[in-house]
Structure 1
Amino acid sequence: MTAKSAILSATALRDELTGPRPPLLLDVRWQLGGPDQRPAYLAGHLPGAVYVDLDSELAGPPGAGGRHPLPDPEAFGAAMRRAGVGADGPVVVYDGGQGWAAARAWWLLRWAGHPDVRVLDGGLAAWTAAGGEVTAGQVTPAEGDFKPTPGALGVLDADAAALRAREGVLLDARAGERYRGEVEPIDPVGGHIPGALSAPTTENVDADGRFLPAEALRARFGALGASAGAPVGVYCGSGVSGAHEVLALEVAGIGADLYAGSWSHWSSDPSRPVATGPDPQ
């Protein structure tokens, strides 16, 4: 049996929703520093979709672990059960189209041991562009029975991320200007982890926010030294867009570990080294 891809198209999702085992839909629309997206969800969402809030349900409280640290497994499990997530029932997550929040939900569920979770490629925008209907109002599902067993995906701490940059490949998923230290709108200092390579996650998708073909992604990551079997790590600002890069690597057939605290954690300790400027030649 061929393994499922980590992503699926709007047309494929529409077929599955009328099939014998329709997936649970989770709406995880979110904007960094933007307004709460629950009103947008209530105004219109995929039929049957349940809203999940990234800041309160897909992350722990901000603090020493970064701006979006990993949530407590018990708290995460409770949030997923409230959203209707079952132990092995299929789940499809989506956001407004950027893909970052949906990837965060995908990564957390995979990390916590869920066996069947995928991302709607292109999000809500792709769904409506394909003629999919939306419905308004709150959806309250039956309680799920999912119980996290963390560890199914690899996680790096600060020391492990520094080692990965020296002995493997560590990709920085943020915008190039933040990697180079030219601007830093959020965290205490600009720059990057020494030895990390710039790989903005925005370059993994097309103009509509849909992932590039697997072959194109393999070529992109291969040029950075990331290939199947290689020790690859990813970080970003706070573990959200980095999850999107891990998803892109998964589409390309390349496994990667996530530094969940990412730059918001690294830069919080002034004793940690900071590099600036372009990629090392």
Structure 2
Amino acid sequence: MAPVIDPYRLADLLAAPDPAERPVVLDVRYRLGGPPGRPDHDAAHVPGAVFVDLDAELAGPPGPAGRHPLPSAEALQAVLRRAGVREGSLVVAHDHGDGAPAARAWWLLRWAGLPAGRVAVLDGGFPAWTAAGLPTTGGPSAPEPGDITVRPGGMPVLDADAAAALGQHGVLLDARAAPRYRGETEPIDPVAGHVPGARNAPSAELIGADGRWLPPEVLAERFAALGVAGAGEAGAYCGSGVTAAALVLAVEHAGLRTPERPIGLYAGSWSNWTADPARPVATGTEP
């Protein structure tokens, strides 16, 4: 299974005669600064999908480590078992269609040890599912509890020192919008700007006007222009480690990195970087 799956392909998989072969669907609809996704899920969702809260279940408590630090292995395991994830499960995550929350779930599942071919995000999210005329249901889902064991380490995690080093000697991508990267505005964190040496790659530009992920060849051209090709070391960050996960997914979807050698994620991201006033900050259009 590729990292991005079409709604019709997901529908085919959900129709498998053997329930054990049907994928687990995680509904991670989330709007930063907007209403919670749970009411949307309760109103209508992919049949059998389980709602997972990004703030409370796909992140640890906010603090100096960042606004969305990684959850503990034990906490994530409990969430995934509640959702029905078993050893060997296929898992598909979807969001409102912006790609980043689903990518965060995809990244965490891979970090937890699920193989690359068993985890995907729904192309276009829930809007693409409904636009395709596929069925929905309301109310809570009650899957059989899963037995997945979370084994952290399946994806590379960067700390502030590693991100700083990549900014100087590798490729460090900043997934935030250009005004935040340039230091012209900072609506959330205490300092505006970017990690010295980082290159701006706004995650919002990974999704086309139709709400779908850009074609792999288009993504490959964009990331190659940013230096993410070949054998060099690369990583990504954003404000709190959510939208940067979309960059990690997109680089793999583009075919520039194999699942065995993904780019690293600075999970603490800018919210962790700026927690230490001694860390340097760059502004302007240049890395």
Q: Deviations over 1:67-90 (max 9, x none)?
A: 000001111101110111112110
| Distance in structure 2 (CA, Å) of the matches to 1:86 and 1:230 | 35
* Contact kept in structure 1, 2:99 and 2:207, CA below 8 Å: no
Residue number in structure 2 paired with 1:79: 79
Structure 2 stretches lacking a partner, 5+ long: none
Letter in 1 for 2:135: E
What does 1:42-53 align with in structure 2 at a 5 Å threshold?
A: 42-53=42-53
Deviation at 1:230, TM superposition (A): 2.3
Instruction: Give CA-to-partner distance per residue, 1:197-218, whole Å, 9 cap, x none.
Output: 0000111110122111111111
Q: Counterpart in 1 of 2:60? A: 60
- C-alpha RMSD of matched pairs (Å): 1.0
Contact 2:155 2:264 in 1 (8 A): yes
Partner-residue secondary structure (3-state), 2:13: helix
Q: TM-score, length-normalised on structure 2? A: 0.94
SS class of match (2:235): strand
What is the distance in 2 between the residues matched to 1:217 and 1:36?
Answer: 30
- The TM-score normalised by the length of structure 1 is 0.96
Equivalence for 1:124: 126
Alignment of 1:101-250 (within 5 A): 101-115=101-115, 116-250=118-252
Offset, 1:228: 4.2
Which residue type is aligned with residue 27 of structure 1?
A: D
**Runs of 4+ deviating beyond 3 Å:** none
User: For residue 51 of structure 1, what is the amino acid of its counterpart?
Assistant: F
DSSP-derived class of the 1:92 partner: strand
Residues 180 and 193, structure 2, Cα contact 8 Å, conserved in 1: yes
Per the alignment, residue 99 of structure 1 pairs with: 99
Aligned-residue identity in percent = 58
CA offset at residue 111 of structure 1? 0.5
Which amino acid counterpart does residue 14 of structure 2 have in structure 1?
Answer: L
CA distance in 2, matches of 1:152, 1:28: 21
Letter of the aligned partner of 1:238 in structure 2? Answer: S
**Deviations, residues 27-50 of structure 1 (Å, cap 9, x unaligned):** 011111222211110000001101
Specify whether residues 48 and 228 from structure 1 end up closer, same or farther in structure 2 by C-alpha distance, changes over 3 A only. Answer: farther
Is 2:285 the counterpart of 1:278?
yes
Judged with a 3 Å threshold, the aligned counterparts in structure 2 of structure 1 residues 228 and 51 are, in CA distance, closer, same or farther, namely farther
The amino acid of 2:126's aligned partner reads: L
> What does residue 16 of structure 2 align with?
19
1:36 aligns with 2:43: no
Could you tell me how far apart the structure 2 residues matched to 1:252 and 1:28 are?
23
Structure 1, unpaired ranges of 5+: none
Aligned length in residues: 277
Listed one character per residue, the Cα deviations across residues 171-206 of structure 1 (whole Å, up to 9, x for unaligned) are 000000000000100000110000000000111110
Is the Cα contact below 8 Å between 2:182 and 2:284 reproduced in 1? yes
